[in-house]
Structure formats: C-alpha cells, structure tokens
Amino acid sequence: MTAIRLIAGLGNPGPRFRHTRHNVGADLVGALADRFSIALTEQSRFKGLLGRGEIFGHDVRLLVPLTFMNLSGEAVGAVARFYRIEPKEILVAYDEMAFEAGVVRLKTGGGDNGHNGIRSIIASLGNVRGFHRLRIGVGHPGDRNQVTAFLTSVRMPEDERALVARGCDLSESVLRLLLGGDLQKAMTELHTPGED
C-alpha cells in the first residue's frame, strides 16, 4: 500500500467562480486545511495555494491550483516533480456530473472522462493515469448545451451546497484508510450507504 502524500482540489480562481459546481474539489481541500489547521499559502512557482501538515499521523501536502481548470496539471505536475511525489501518491478531488449532488466516489486510474482538469493532470504526469480521484457529485443540467454554464456560471443552490459539504466531510476512518493507502477499504466504507 502506498500512502497519499498530495491532495489536490480542482476549481477555477477568483470570486466569480466561488460556490460554483466546478469548484467543489477546491472547496474540499480548503475544508481539509481548516479542519486540520494547515495553512495554505500562495506559491507562484507551483501556480497554486500549497500547505503541508499532519493528518492522522500522515505528512500530507494540500494543493489548490490557481490556474484555470483546464491548466490544473501545471500546478499538480510542478508540485509532484519538485517533491518527487509519484502519481500513485496523489489524490485529486473534482466535480463529477455523473453523480447527484452529495454523492462522493473514490476511483483509481482511468481516463479523463471529458474532464479538462483531469486531462491536464494526466498530461502533466507524463500520461500516467494511476493517480487516485475523489469524484464529487454535482448533478447534470439535463442538456449538454447547458453544461458549461451549469458548472462555471451558476452558483449552487444552498440545499445542494449543503449536500455536497456533507458528502465531502470525510470521516476519520475513511481519511485514515485513504491516507494510509488502503484505497479498497476506503472505497468500500465511503460507498456504503448509511455508514459514517
């Protein structure tokens, strides 16, 4: 089992995109930073907000890229190369339209499934796809022509934001398993309804 050393949360920079569906990954990392008192500071060399701290005995870096979503790999790749972090030691949190708001799923590897942030990260890691993904459900507008506005222009309604926040509030047990590299057990626990 390989421990997680970097958790990156994707989004778009600036107040215009605050509380939009495309920013739920960045929000999750911000919440983790608050929960574990890890200061995130702007690091221009890494094109993001970066912090380092201990979460349940694990030395972890938290990253929120300050690039636009489709350039997320510039930040993730820079941090991974500088600190010699392997793709299998990286967890990326991002929005997933295939799930309803509040559903959170863990996955290892795979393609980008049309997600520009994930596509950029795969490219930045030398086309290695074996990093872990925390996919945060945001629902679908029902019409593919409305997807861009749905993700980046429309702020999530309060009830949806509450569902997403609840889904992203990972239990101590899930975090311990996840950070320790026991992705299978973390996945099982996270995906089991009614378990906390």
Report the Cα–Cα distance between both ends of the chain, in Å, rounded. Answer: 23
Q: Is there a contact between 24 and 95 (Cβ–Cβ < 8 Å)?
A: yes
CB count within 10 Å of CB 34 equals 10
CA distance 95 to 125: 20
Tokens of 167: 């889904």
Q: Is there a contact between 138 and 157 (Cβ–Cβ < 8 Å)?
A: no
Q: Is there a contact between 97 and 139 (Cβ–Cβ < 8 Å)?
A: yes
CA distance 38 to 45: 19
For residue 140, indicate whether it is catalytic: no
- The catalytic residue among 22, 132, 140, 191 is 22
CA distance 61 to 52: 4
H and E: helices and strands count for the chain: 7, 7
Residues taking part in catalysis: 22
